[in-house]
Structure 1
Amino acid sequence: MAVSMKNVDVAFQGVGQKPGMDIWRIEDFKPVLLPKESHGKFYTGDSYIVLKTTALKTGGFHYDIHFWLGKKTSQDEAGTAAIKTVELDAALGGRAVQYRETQEHETDLFLSYFKPCIIPMEGGVASGFKKVEVGKVEPRLFVVKGRRAVRVAQVPFARSSLNHDDVFVLDTESTIFQFNGATSSIQERGKALEVVQYIKDTDHDGKCEVIIIDDGTLGSEADTGQFWVLFGGFAPLSKKAAVVDDAPELLKAKLLCIVEGSFKEVEISKEVLDSNKCYLLDCGTELYIWAGRNTSLDVRKAAISIVEGFITNQKRLKHTQITRIIEGFETLEFRSYFDKWPLNGQQPVSEEGRGKVAALLKQQGLNTKGILKGSPTKEEIPPLPNLSGKIEVWRVEGDQKKEVDAGEVGKFYDSSCYIVLYTYQGAERKEEYLLCNWIGRHTSVEDKAASVRIMNEMCAAFKGRAVQAYIAQGKEPIQFLAMFKCMCTLKEHTGPGLKENAIMLVRVRSAGPHIVVAVQVEPLSVSLNSADCFLLQTNSKLYAWSGNLSSAENQKAVLRVAEVLKPGVVARPVKESLEPPIFWSSLGGKRKYAGHREPKDGPKDPRLYACNLSKGNLKIIEVHNFMQEDLLTEDIMILDSHNAIYEWVGQHASRDNKGLTLDIAKKYVERAARLDGLQPETPIFIVTEGNEPAFFTTFFSWDPSKVNVNGDAYARMVAGLQGRPAPKEKAQRRLTPSASAGARDSSTQRAAAMAALSSQLTSEGILSQGRLSEGRLSKVAQTLINQNSNSAPVSPRFHRPSTANSQRAAAMAALSFMLGPKAGPASTVSVDADWVAGSSPFTKVEATGDTESTGSRSEDGGDDGVEVTEFYSYDRLKSSSTDPAPKINIKRKEAYLSPEDFEKLFGISKVQFYEMPKWKQDQRKRNLQLF
């Protein structure tokens, strides 16, 4: 497209030269740049244009343009915003993706810019509305939806707006209420708390009361009544009415060519797309406008207007999503509708377009610094596992695994599969496990299946605590290579080792500090490369050949490999072009070989997706501008770093999907290989919630305190909003998603019942027909409360909408329950115990009525209650001691360490140690030879 700045609004000149966000509001049909302090403040009567500029690791910029239309904006303003968006794209070189956003139906990408939410305000500039005057604040009722991207919509302030399925926020002059529908999800409740915090800080200067009303649970009459009186009193809520769309979503996408204001249906194929035309991809509730790179600015503007008319004529929903894409910059979502999408030559006009724009701006005397591509970001090495850990390697033979001798660890044969277990200490002295399945290039199908079966068995033994890695030969990630210092991949021979006096050629490369990779190649001169180093073994000699373009690190590495493959044999250094005749004769004669470094894939920015596999179909949803909080315990997520795939499995993901984790990852790789150029054999890591290694958490601003092992994040947020101390973390069973939405554990229910009981029994006189007197009732109630005060955890203020009569009935029911016989000890309940128990750093809890017991322990003796009268040194207690301590309980050797020695060795106190699960205690002791 020929860019003429005469056709581009002057407000857009010089934009997009640095990362960040720019927002324009349409005023008198012109874009007016807003100050940074106004970002995120939208008025229902206005239209806006939002430019998000993102710096990529490749060194360039990615642009997303959104035009946002308020509910009460005029048609003329909306049309102006759409046209000006096309001009803004032209000013950026014709490379931006453009989105049409409508109030309350924004894309997840748009909402991700404005955390925690956007709440449009009444009024507007061009539409003639005025901002609401500051004074008496009328109550506002919002419904909050979304587990990650939060959509906040104002609804009529009436009881009929409430339902049992959603979360609502009621903002009044002095108090903010959050009403949690009985069947609402815990994720939406948590997001609603963020909205409450936002309203509190924005509209109340952080000074107002926050009350949580929990639909369907028992609460204090004062707060509950305060909420319902605003609605004219309590009355049962009706069920949520099903919403019927005005137009059904199309089952099958259609590709339409835009020709002189009309549409002609064509085949959905990449080959059909003409660079001189515009097309409409009709996906029902989503529409994509594709503009060829040779189309003019006027043609692109016209396409927008034509598609707006298409929505009206087809009686589509007014909030139908429209995305406009320029040839060469197609999104993954757009490409996914095509059976085949060749990736060669993707983004062909990237730098050309930017160069033309920069030249035009320079002619006009504008600063063009930053508009051209910058330097690529150097690919960073991810945090590696602690390299002082223990490594174990097994070779898969038939249906069994056979341990590899210590001297052979690091040597892999291309016709076999291997299982590698690496045990190391991670953060906070936590023992971590990396379990790898390495597949040789010439491995049989049977061996591959056996290795996966063995991996599953070993993972089950670790209760989900081990990080799984599936690695193909030649695609080894740095985390795997770092475990060996020197990894050699060799061709299989008749015996387990190399044939004596066989000619062997090995390419050697340095993969990082003290990490060497050696791969056996065909013993021919064409296998050489001037950028590498090689080790050549002849019948009688060993040569270390260095190419003229090889690095100093590679030249040192080739000598290290010689020591590994041929210990005791001195390798003769040989420089390229100074080879002796026997060198070439061993390789079948000198022939032409490569003289350049092999190109590497450039760094790419990581992307996060929520995944679900159902009936063989993989559904993925991208999470934009992701953070740690986007890892939801009910989901399976895939983090695509391009060099590796990390699959994160939430502890409460469905059992069906948990059993298909490897299938989900493989299907994702297939899809990304087809649409985004991902290598088909990209390594796959599978990580379970609560066991995230450092090389995974590095992609987030990771806060270990936010790891929600106990499921108490919601309670902490409520306490913070209400200005109360956060509840103390304690070992407890984790609820399922359905249970956490409406139910609480028995001790929490008792606490709520006791609160209601105390309020009810102390406020009434003598009850009818021979019941206990007020004094007796109050005494009984107080006794019960005292008995339960220690076991009832601190909890947020839960409330149940009810009348006084129902409150009294509930109180009497609670009294009957409390005065009745207590249930015997309940069996320990563990949700998905094979993973939860393994990943939790806390002890299992026995549920016994209203108390929680972890068994009796002594500080020094653990479960057996060993009474220690004398301490011994570590040297006398460990298994290899030559002077063992006399008359001790060998099952509790650690108890005979002094508190100082114990903490020095274990890194924790004895009390903390005996609170750990038994398996974890044994593992720690085993590592220290105290087992």
Structure 2
Amino acid sequence: MIDMADSTKGTPVLVQIFEGKEPDQFFWITQRLIIFKGGTSTKYRNLFAEKAIEDYTYNAGSMALFRLQGSSLENMQAIQLNMVAGSLNSSYCYIVQTEEAVFSWTGSLTSSRDHDLLDRMLELLNPDWQPKSLREGGEPDEFWMALGGKSEYTREKEMRKHIEDPHLFVCNFSEDDFKVKEIFSFTQDDLTTEDVFILDCYLEIYVWIGSQSNVKSKLQAIQCGMNYLERDILAQGLSLETPLYIVTERHEPEFFTCFFDWDVSKSHMDGNSFERKLALLRGEKKLETPPRSSCRAYSSEYSQSGSRSKSVSSNRVPRSASPSSFSKSYLTSSNGGAFSSPDVIAKKLFSEQSADHSSTVDFHKLDLGNSAETVNSSLVAENDDDDDSNLLIYPYERLMLTSDEPVSDIDVTKREAYLSKAEFQAKFGMTKRAFYTLPKWRQNNLKVSLNLF
């Protein structure tokens, strides 16, 4: 894996992922994925034959239970589970394959989006199937017999885990020692080129390698990350199978830089840390301006613990980017420089007019794309103490990504801005003014947890 990464151009991000611990980004890359139990390799089959144990490898005529999950038709998965009633969950849809029939089962807490995923995945698994549609609570006896009998299963709404605030650590390690020191209220400037850092995001870990650090191989970086997971510095109960990303200086992907107020020009400065700081004090930025390249992610089919996967891609739409890749504080101009985003420009313009006690903004004079919606969200941030009478207001149910009756005339990157003051307070647990003072990455995490991003 490391040799493959080293042989490619652009120094790609290397990610160590374990089965069952896949991050959201992995599924965004694979788009449509079917994971079967068992395996097809000779080594796997010989192992089962030698130990005389039953092989559960999937085949077209076997009995199987699949759980459906995903956020769209371009990001959906079917995962084969143990054929028992305890594998069910009211928050998902399932496909049950028996020797005599195929059942599609929809949990009572699923949405119309989940039902669409179920229909499409049935076609991908086997277009010849004629499934018997069942809703939770209306199952026939033959359904429960196929699962080994009726038993208890999870019936409560499955909620996304809260994304903790990230923690940044600088690492100092040798063959016999490993020490880390936390950096509080961190910024991009704390990423010194001579050091190695660990960004702990709780659900995933990033190891950042400075270009002038003494870590010269990705294998060393992986070992550094594993040492951190073993010590569980913050006593979070981290699993050794937590997704581990290896990021190199000057090749940071947007799903890493979104945790900082990232300045592209700083990340491409020459010299050591002292020389860079001196250049900044003098007002100089010695830039290397390589052409902006898109972030690519690579996935491979592999067999581990007897598992195999099949990826089904669609040519109708381009591959989706990571959900977090859209949370940028800066855009890149045609000459490689950085300039403030429309949100920042609009907010500054409004702030200047607010100083003159002006209550109106001429949207037609702002050549910023969807200026009206952008300034609307800034108005919300600045005028939290005013009433909602001058703003576009919609209920939370219509603003969600999975709404059955979505609103069409809004800026989809600012869905939260169209909530009323009362509903915003109820959903976010804070005022709009407080929300818009949070770092951009923190705002995005909160919106993701409420299905608004």
TM-score bracket relative to the smaller structure: 0.5 to 0.7
455, 464, 479: which is aligned to 2:25?
479
Query: What fraction of aligned residue pairs are identical, expressed as a percent?
Result: 35
2:84 aligned with 1:538: no
Deviation of the 1:638 alpha carbon:
0.6
135, 145, 153: which is aligned to 1:585?
145
Change (3 A) 1:472 1:495: closer
Letter of the 2:267 counterpart = V
Tell me if structure 1 keeps the 8 A contact 2:88–2:154.
Answer: yes
654, 658, 683: which is aligned to 2:214?
654
The 5-angstrom pairing of residues 481-560 of structure 1 reads 481-493=27-39, 498-511=58-71, 514-560=74-120
Letter of the 2:140 counterpart = P
Change (3 A) 1:722 1:477: closer
Deviation of the 1:671 alpha carbon:
1.6
Tell me if structure 2 keeps the 8 A contact 1:510–1:553.
Answer: no
Match of 2:232 in 1: 672
Match of 2:263 in 1: 703
For the aligned residue pairs, the C-alpha RMSD in angstroms reads 3.2
Letter of the 1:473 counterpart = E
The 5-angstrom pairing of residues 388-787 of structure 1 reads 455-462=1-8, 465-493=11-39, 498-511=58-71, 514-598=74-158, 600-655=160-215, 659-672=219-232, 675-711=235-271, 726=284, 729=287
Match of 1:760 in 2: none
Letter of the 1:470 counterpart = Q
Q: Secondary structure at the match of 1:489?
A: strand
Letter of the 2:146 counterpart = S
Return 5+ residue gaps in structure 1 as ranges: 1-454, 732-839, 843-906, 910-931
Using CA pairs below 8 Å that are at least 6 residues apart, which structure has the higher relative contact order? 2
Q: Secondary structure at the match of 2:197?
A: strand
Change (3 A) 1:671 1:714: closer
Change (3 A) 1:599 1:618: farther
Distance 2:285 2:271 in 1: 12
Q: Secondary structure at the match of 2:29?
A: coil
Tell me if structure 2 keeps the 8 A contact 1:612–1:657.
Answer: no
Tell me if structure 2 keeps the 8 A contact 1:493–1:499.
Answer: no
Q: Secondary structure at the match of 2:232?
A: helix
Letter of the 1:487 counterpart = L
Deviation of the 1:576 alpha carbon:
1.1
Deviation of the 1:672 alpha carbon:
1.8
Change (3 A) 1:673 1:548: farther
Tell me if structure 1 keeps the 8 A contact 2:194–2:273.
Answer: no
Letter of the 1:601 counterpart = K
Change (3 A) 1:500 1:567: same
Deviation of the 1:601 alpha carbon:
3.2
Q: Give per-residue Cα distances to partners, 1:685-726, cap 9 Å, x unaligned.
A: 100001100100000001111113433986676567567xx4
Distance 1:656 1:719 in 2: 26
Distance 2:217 2:60 in 1: 50
Change (3 A) 1:509 1:728: closer
Structure with greater strand share of residues: 1
Match of 1:773 in 2: none
Distance 2:138 2:249 in 1: 56
Distance 2:148 2:219 in 1: 52
Tell me if structure 2 keeps the 8 A contact 1:511–1:517.
Answer: no
Distance 1:590 1:573 in 2: 18
Change (3 A) 1:550 1:616: farther
Deviation of the 1:550 alpha carbon:
2.3
Count how many residue pairs are aligned between Structure 1 and Structure 2: 281
Letter of the 2:204 counterpart = A
Distance 1:716 1:493 in 2: 52
Q: Give per-residue Cα distances to partners, 1:855-891, cap 9 Å, x unaligned.
A: xxxxxxxxxxxxxxxxxxxxxxxxxxxxxxxxxxxxx
Change (3 A) 1:644 1:721: closer
Return 5+ residue gaps in structure 2 as ranges: 43-56, 293-332, 336-453
Tell me if structure 1 keeps the 8 A contact 2:269–2:285.
Answer: no
Distance 2:196 2:279 in 1: 29
Change (3 A) 1:657 1:514: closer
Deviation of the 1:492 alpha carbon:
1.0
The 5-angstrom pairing of residues 232-311 of structure 1 reads none
Q: Give per-residue Cα distances to partners, 1:724-753, cap 9 Å, x unaligned.
A: xx476469xxxxxxxxxxxxxxxxxxxxxx
Distance 1:643 1:525 in 2: 29
Match of 1:100 in 2: none
Structure 1 residue ranges (4+ consecutive) displaced by more than 3 angstroms after TM superposition: 493-498, 511-514, 597-601, 655-659, 712-723, 726-731
Tell me if structure 1 keeps the 8 A contact 2:91–2:157.
Answer: yes
Letter of the 1:579 counterpart = E
Q: Give per-residue Cα distances to partners, 1:389-445, cap 9 Å, x unaligned.
A: xxxxxxxxxxxxxxxxxxxxxxxxxxxxxxxxxxxxxxxxxxxxxxxxxxxxxxxxx
Change (3 A) 1:513 1:694: farther
Q: Secondary structure at the match of 1:597?
A: coil
Change (3 A) 1:463 1:636: farther
Deviation of the 1:677 alpha carbon:
2.1
Q: Which entry has the higher C-alpha Rg, 1 or 2?
A: 1
Match of 2:401 in 1: none
TM-score scaled to structure 1, two decimals? Answer: 0.28
Q: Secondary structure at the match of 1:706?
A: helix
Letter of the 1:460 counterpart = D
Deviation of the 1:506 alpha carbon:
0.8
Deviation of the 1:684 alpha carbon:
0.5
Deviation of the 1:594 alpha carbon:
2.5
Q: Give per-residue Cα distances to partners, 1:317-342, cap 9 Å, x unaligned.
A: xxxxxxxxxxxxxxxxxxxxxxxxxx
Tell me if structure 1 keeps the 8 A contact 2:268–2:287.
Answer: no
The 5-angstrom pairing of residues 328-367 of structure 1 reads none
Deviation of the 1:573 alpha carbon:
2.2
Deviation of the 1:467 alpha carbon:
0.2
